[in-house]
Amino acid sequence: MPIKPILFNKQISTEMVRAILDGRKTCTRRICKDANECTVPDMEFYNADRRTYAVHNFADKEHTEQLSTAERTCPICTGDILYVRETWKEAPKGYYYYEDWQKDDIADVTKWKPSIHMPKEAARIWLKVTDVRIERLQDVTEDGAKAEGAIDNRGFIHSPENEYDRIYTAREHFIKIWNSTIKKSNLNRYGWDANPWVWVIEFERCEKPKT
């Protein structure tokens, strides 16, 4: 059973970690970099044993003249276990996590370390991948955006205390979040308006695997 790390963009990392802990986030979308205007991914050719799928290469953007089909490796597959890398620190009493520090005011006894440097043994959030598919970014539905944790649905979405979520739908919020994670230089390739192909990775919380 493959065990892999997963990162969230530093601009929204704290928000997404809290959404997972609250049970509001059960899905994440990641850019499928094997695809482009002339290359179309196809999970109908998924091979679980080889962990591969197909991409169809076309000579034109309208996909009327196919040149070839190639096999590519899936970065994450159903059944994989993911551990979430967070901003963290290690102190004499154990590991601290930045999201908790904001809430509980944990003493700043050591410097915070970036999530990309978090070792597996420090992880507290473990996820089991329940489904993987590929779709265009703009295919996300309102329910899909809610599963992304793009809206706080703990009972006060439409209350005056939460004006932002009262005004915007989850899908509209998701668009804003997505574009905030893309570098300005890449918005024309991977931003919402570009409608790139994305991996849709659904998951559920699980216990840390026994080693």
150-206 pLDDT, tens digit per residue, is 975 443 344 445 554 556 789 999 999 999 999 999 999 999 999 999 999 999 999
Mean pLDDT of the chain: 88
Residue-level pLDDT at 46: 95
Cα 49 from chain centroid (whole Å):
24
Q: What is the DSSP secondary-structure string of 17-68?
A: HHHHHTT-B-EEEEE-TT-BTTEEEEEEEEETTTTEEEEEEESSTT--SEEE
| Integer Cα distance of 6 and 15 in angstroms | 15
Q: What is the pLDDT of residue 156?
A: 36
Sheet bearing 197-206, strands edge to edge: 3-6, 81-84, 126-136, 197-206, 27-31
Listed residue (173, 178, 201, 172) closest to 191, CA to CA: 178
Looking at the predicted structure, is the pLDDT value of residue 54 above 60?
yes
Q: pLDDT tier at 68 (50, 70, 90 boundaries)?
A: very high
pTM reported for the whole predicted model:
0.87
pLDDT digits 0-9 by tens, 8-42: 877 678 889 989 999 999 999 999 999 999 999 99
pLDDT confidence of residue 1: 78
pLDDT in tens, 74-120: 999 999 999 999 988 888 788 888 877 755 455 555 788 889 999 99
User: Which residues make Cβ contacts (< 8 Å) with residue 134, sequence separation at least 6?
Assistant: 32, 35, 41, 42, 43, 53, 197, 198, 199, 200
pLDDT score for 157: 40
